[in-house]
Structure 1
Amino acid sequence: MRKLWLAGMLAGLSAAALAAPALADTPPAAIAAPSDATTTAPGGSTVLLPAGWTATTAAKVLTLRTPEPDLKVVIVDVGAAADAKAAAAAAWAVYAPTRAHPFKLLTARPPRNGWEEAAVIDYETSPAEHLAQTAIARRLGTAWTVLIIDGSEATLEKRAGAVGQIVPSLRPAGYARESFAGKTANPLDPARVQQLIDFVKRNAEAMHIPGVGLALYSGGKIVYEGGVGVKELGKPDPVDAHTRFMIASNTKSMATLLLAELVSEGKLRWDQPVTEVYPAFRLGSDATTKSVQIRHLVCACTGLPRKDMEWVFNTTAQTPASDTFRQLALTEPTSKFGEAFQYNNLMASAAGYVAAHLYYPDMELGAAFDRAVKEHVWQPLGMADSTMVMDEALAADHASPHGDDIDGRPAVEPQDLNRAIAPFRPAGGAWSSPHDMILYMKNELDQGVLPSGKRLLSAEALLARRARGVPVGEDHWYGMGLMEDASTGVSVIHHGGDLMGYHSEMFAIPAAGVAAVILTNADNGPFLRRVFQRRLLEVLYDGKPEAQGDADAVVKRIAAEQAEFRSKVQLPGDTAILASLAARYGSPELGTLRLVLEKGYVRGFTPAWNSLMTTRRNDDGTVSLVSIDPGWIGGNEMLIGVANGKRTLTVRDGQHVYVFTEVS
């Protein structure tokens, strides 16, 4: 099971082999939608057609196409079928009977949005294909409707925001979504607070999350701050209001708050070219560089794909902060500005460092950012627990990171990779506590007014960070280091953060005057924070009781995915294949990889991490090397091969290929 923040990491052989197979048909002439629109499938269900996509209908099939030719979302009205798996098979038979790959896994989903039954069916693809194939089957009455995602994983990553709009928007004809618009929120009184605490406790235990930091704000005051569970497995110390967790990408909104303060003071404009204030900045070509404005650094809208592999493989805490700018200079966007949501940590890192440079131009970039966020964010807001220094956090009240092992049992994880975020720390390096983070979100509700009545910054500058930018889902947008989810009719301002063993989310619901923070110390944390948002809205607005059903389905899915992964890897590994590997490999971009045999496995060593690895045979006859240590289960997948007479290991993320070649 791949880590969420490493999703899409696949191995490959060569540029030719990595190309996804051509799609089965030639699209008929169609005009791309100029803006988001609703279209109707032959069976009457409705679905959102994102801007720039085209829709064509033939018989029982509605086909939605990306601007690229190698990815489709297909909706097939199957009619009656024995079950979800049979419905998916029938949909493939209508759409492209020879294209479907072997069945891999079916996991049930709670019926939502007017459907009475739902399931996701995954298919077995091999790393060299770089192919995404998934079916989502939904039933109303006796009739099944199946949505198929089929095509290039690279394009799916590029168009993930648009696909995120499509999938939840598929609804039966005439179904009206639940909406809390115009409703008065309930106060978070002690009884409702306890409901939220009980929900977190029950589901943290079920999801193998040892400890959760939780804080709630309502009615102009903090109504709860503390947590459930323990800081570290095997130790009795409970999580409390001042327990520090890594908040990872929630650091980004603090970088944008620094920029907003500069805008508020008239020292910067959101639309100002970056090179005017930081002349050394470059992004790919000269033309692209000149086009980048301050707001583009934090909008996830410049078409720059994720480029995390150099951090994951070849970065240490000693890498200079300036490496952010070195890497950006070598990177060109893969879509136009404003066209698609593509999340990139380097751009957010650059945003924080540009702000820090404007505050303290004579300081080294990393030190300048540490000082800027402390003096201009944390100290004014009273956030005394927060720090950018890991050793300082580890010497104080802190939670340790955890992840499930190969048998699904939670275990403590090392901090190595988390230390390696330091060079890019404006994108994800901060530590904070439930107490501090609820103060931070209170500032969002108060629109920059401090408890003293003085302003930290103007409301206009603060709120600009929430302006709706590129869509990341249906009625869900990315702003500048913050996101807005209006899918239930009320605006939820939020952002999440993910590092090894630390996963968090912060929420502000301005219409209710409510804020919440959830900090977890395990890699199943993202599953909890998503259902927590739903439960919070249920409690506030007396919504349909769906959150617990969603959580129960997640627990079953985690177990099913873990069991499926374990069934496909070799434990111990194939000794002949492991013995045939080189002891040392090198990549121009990712540095060195050293392999050491270890009792039927190999251990991989890079500057940023080490992990036990084993073999997995793929359906096309190739063999991959995969990590099996907690935190790395299924990650760092490397396809074993040979090129030009030398042994190779090939790694890829969504839109990049990296080849390690043996070195003497």
Structure 2
Amino acid sequence: MTSFARRTSIALALALAAASATMPAAAQPRKAAAPAAMPISPTKIDETVARAMKAFEVPGMAVGIVKDGKLIYSKGYGVREQGKSARVDADTLFQIGSNTKAFTAAALSILIDEGKIGWDDKVIDHLPQFRMYDPYVTREFTIRDLLTHRSGLGLGAGDLMVFPESDITRDEIIHGLRYLKPVSSFRSRFDYDNTLYMVAGQIIPAVTGKTWDEFVETRILAPLGMQPCSSTYGRIRDRSNLASPHIVVEGKLTAIPVMNIDAIGPAGTINCSINGMAKWLMTQLDAGKSPSGKQLFSAARGTEMWTVNTPLPVNPRSTEMMRTHFSGYGLGWGLEDVFGYKKVAHTGGVAGTVTWVAMVPELKLGVLVFTNQQSGAAMTSVGNQILDAYLKAPARDWVEIASAQTKTRNDGARAVEDAAAKVLASAGPPSLPLDTYVGTYNDPWRGDATVRREGDGLVLKFSRTKDLEGPLLPYSGNIFIARWKDRSLEADSYVRFEQGYDGKVTGMKMQAVSPATDFSFDFHDLDFTKVEKPAK
């Protein structure tokens, strides 16, 4: 995410932050010996990992370093599932989330090399059913636009069609896009999205007759020898060494079921290990040539994927800490300079798992950090500590830096959440009789939601998913708070009912309560209208 990364972003990930003195951080034997020339010692990596796991309550982590075409360091730490003994190692599979996006860009690059498509082909020429809200945007939208987060849609627009887990299909997601209203003009602003990467993946079956899932496995994973990595969770053949996702739920670290989001596959569903992803980084760093010598995509395509398409403003904090002067997004990759070197990187996340991938091409360096807890601060701490050693950066402690930044962000979010809780605790009855709110509501891109009466209260339930259901707690007037039964979602939302001049309820709008809510809960994009049919 992401990326479907919860409380994370492409740049510096937010954390759920809760310190624990009892987290295991025992290391596993390395698959490859670290050479003496490595500028950071294995002991220093071990210490950084152990401190990050403790500070951010992470049960398991895996780290890899690729240098000069070889995997020189690969190691697992901790356990695959909290409370169980199975250890993480360099072959443990993690959901890599939005690090999948680079694979989708590479798959399209292969088709460009074969002369079957071009970056600036119009999407509707390959997918005639594709529509955006504005007909002009529909006509002008190119394959390149699908990958560069400059569509005019808002951050994470449409993610609620697949997150949390639903039975909405890829075709239905494409149909829903036409109802999503833009928040900026076409190609004028960066807003990270997932749904359009799924559309990009659908170019593949339109051109080849193979699904994105099949194409990625047969044309990328298999040729690179990345087994048992898989394109989607549903296609994992061997689940004997799989990391379980974890979330801190109401103060307690909790293992959660894997969220199946295969419908959004091209945006974020690949599962892979450190050993498998190392081969991917070797290929990236060798201009598309695999470790076995096979040219996966041409050097020209590699250059295109690593070229800024959408410029981003440089955060002054990045300039101060990393000497960054430019920042942007290419095709499946984030791009910036750090200490005079070009950095090519991305993060990824799904519920309970986050991953960090970074390359410094001039140094022929790649760094991988995977965790089975959605604390972005943990992976960022470890990854940046390793990068610093290779970049000869000033000495600093990234666990301390990330802890301080996480505390600041969490304190700000907690203040907002506490203020809302105070209003909720003193709230009186709603403005209208409860039965007035009962009914079926429809949003054009997300579908139906129902409000039903249960005893002395109301319950909101979204269609097409089992997870978005919970009581509506009176907050103020016609405003309620939806408190989802699945507390791992961390996405309680305001629900504001609207009335017509006749006093009848005509619809409802929503907005997340906490600023820390993951952007994939794009409740604010919903515009429900009450419809005349019985609630289910």
Question: Structure 2 residue aligned with 1:659, among 502, 508, 528?
Answer: 528
1:382–1:436: 8 Å Cα contact kept in structure 2?
A: yes
Aligned counterparts, 1:80-479, within 5 A: 189=38, 191-305=40-154, 306-312=156-162, 316-317=166-167, 319-331=168-180, 333-360=182-209, 368-393=211-236, 395-406=239-250, 408-415=251-258, 418-419=259-260, 421-474=261-314, 475-479=326-330
1:404–1:630: 8 Å Cα contact kept in structure 2?
A: no
Which residue does the alignment assign to 2:443?
Answer: 588
Deviation digits for residues 475-517 of structure 1, max 9, x if unmatched? 2111111111214321110111122112212111112111111
Paired letter, 2:52: N
1:569 aligns with 2:459: no
1:541 aligns with 2:400: no
Paired letter, 2:352: G
Question: Structure 1 residue aligned with 2:499, among 626, 634, 643?
Answer: 643
Q: Shift in Å at residue 316 of structure 1?
A: 2.4
Give me the whole-angstrom Cα distance separating, in 1, the residues matched to 2:426 and 2:87.
42
Question: Structure 1 residue aligned with 2:336, among 485, 488, 499?
Answer: 485
Higher mean Cα deviation, 464-473 or 650-659? 650-659
SS class of match (1:380): coil
1:210–1:522: 8 Å Cα contact kept in structure 2?
A: yes
Which residue does the alignment assign to 1:522?
Answer: 373
Q: Residues 333 and 641 (structure 1 numbering): CA distance in 2 closer, same or farther, change over 3 Å?
A: closer
Stretches of structure 1 that go unaligned for 5 or more consecutive residues are 9-185
Q: Shift in Å at residue 449 of structure 1?
A: 0.9
Q: Shift in Å at residue 539 of structure 1?
A: 1.4
Deviation digits for residues 166-189 of structure 1, max 9, x if unmatched? xxxxxxxxxxxxxxxxxxxx9862
Q: Residues 278 and 230 (structure 1 numbering): CA distance in 2 closer, same or farther, change over 3 Å?
A: same
Q: Shift in Å at residue 288 of structure 1?
A: 2.1
1:531 aligns with 2:346: no
Higher mean Cα deviation, 466-475 or 583-592? 583-592
Deviation digits for residues 608-650 of structure 1, max 9, x if unmatched? 24267577787999542344744322x1413243524238652
Higher mean Cα deviation, 299-308 or 495-504? 299-308
Give me the whole-angstrom Cα distance separating, in 1, the residues matched to 2:453 and 2:370.
36
TM-score (norm: length of structure 1): 0.63
Give me the whole-angstrom Cα distance separating, in 1, the residues matched to 2:329 and 2:67.
25
Give me the whole-angstrom Cα distance separating, in 2, the residues matched to 1:460 and 1:187.
35
SS class of match (2:108): helix
Stretches of structure 2 that go unaligned for 5 or more consecutive residues are 9-34, 315-325, 512-521
TM-score (norm: length of structure 2): 0.77
2:312–2:329: 8 Å Cα contact kept in structure 1?
A: yes
Give me the whole-angstrom Cα distance separating, in 1, the residues matched to 2:338 and 2:440.
48
2:306–2:335: 8 Å Cα contact kept in structure 1?
A: yes
Give me the whole-angstrom Cα distance separating, in 1, the residues matched to 2:510 and 2:36.
50
Q: Residues 580 and 215 (structure 1 numbering): CA distance in 2 closer, same or farther, change over 3 Å?
A: farther
Q: Shift in Å at residue 566 of structure 1?
A: 5.6
Give me the whole-angstrom Cα distance separating, in 2, the residues matched to 1:263 and 1:191.
40
Give me the whole-angstrom Cα distance separating, in 1, the residues matched to 2:159 and 2:150.
20
Q: Shift in Å at residue 454 of structure 1?
A: 2.8
Paired letter, 2:499: A
2:279–2:290: 8 Å Cα contact kept in structure 1?
A: no
Give me the whole-angstrom Cα distance separating, in 1, the residues matched to 2:374 and 2:455.
26
Paired letter, 1:189: M
Which residue does the alignment assign to 1:631?
Answer: 488
Identity rate, percent: 21
Q: Residues 309 and 345 (structure 1 numbering): CA distance in 2 closer, same or farther, change over 3 Å?
A: closer
Which residue does the alignment assign to 1:108?
Answer: none
Deviation digits for residues 263-318 of structure 1, max 9, x if unmatched? 1222222122223333443333443222122211111123232323541579624x
1:498–1:504: 8 Å Cα contact kept in structure 2?
A: yes
Paired letter, 1:637: S
Give me the whole-angstrom Cα distance separating, in 2, the residues matched to 1:202 and 1:598.
49
Q: Shift in Å at residue 606 of structure 1?
A: 4.6
Which residue does the alignment assign to 1:610?
Answer: 467
Q: Residues 609 and 550 (structure 1 numbering): CA distance in 2 closer, same or farther, change over 3 Å?
A: farther
Give me the whole-angstrom Cα distance separating, in 1, the residues matched to 2:51 and 2:458.
37
SS class of match (1:491): strand
Q: Shift in Å at residue 261 of structure 1?
A: 0.9
Deviation digits for residues 233-259 of structure 1, max 9, x if unmatched? 111111111211211211111111011
Q: How many residues align?
A: 472
The structure that has the greater radius of gyration is 1
Give me the whole-angstrom Cα distance separating, in 2, the residues matched to 1:613 and 1:605.
10
Which residue does the alignment assign to 1:115?
Answer: none
SS class of match (2:110): helix
2:227–2:276: 8 Å Cα contact kept in structure 1?
A: yes
2:343–2:361: 8 Å Cα contact kept in structure 1?
A: yes
1:274–1:293: 8 Å Cα contact kept in structure 2?
A: yes
Greater RCO (CA < 8 Å, at least 6 residues apart): 2
Q: Residues 309 and 540 (structure 1 numbering): CA distance in 2 closer, same or farther, change over 3 Å?
A: closer
Higher mean Cα deviation, 218-227 or 433-442? 218-227
SS class of match (2:481): strand
Paired letter, 1:586: Y
2:190–2:312: 8 Å Cα contact kept in structure 1?
A: yes
Paired letter, 2:442: S
Q: Shift in Å at residue 204 of structure 1?
A: 2.1
2:439–2:452: 8 Å Cα contact kept in structure 1?
A: yes
Q: Residues 290 and 392 (structure 1 numbering): CA distance in 2 closer, same or farther, change over 3 Å?
A: closer
Deviation digits for residues 534-592 of structure 1, max 9, x if unmatched? 31222113312142331221453466357543674379978986994866643233322
2:53–2:378: 8 Å Cα contact kept in structure 1?
A: yes
1:187–1:219: 8 Å Cα contact kept in structure 2?
A: no
Give me the whole-angstrom Cα distance separating, in 1, the residues matched to 2:77 and 2:223.
29
How large is the RMSD of aligned CA atoms in angstroms? Answer: 3.6
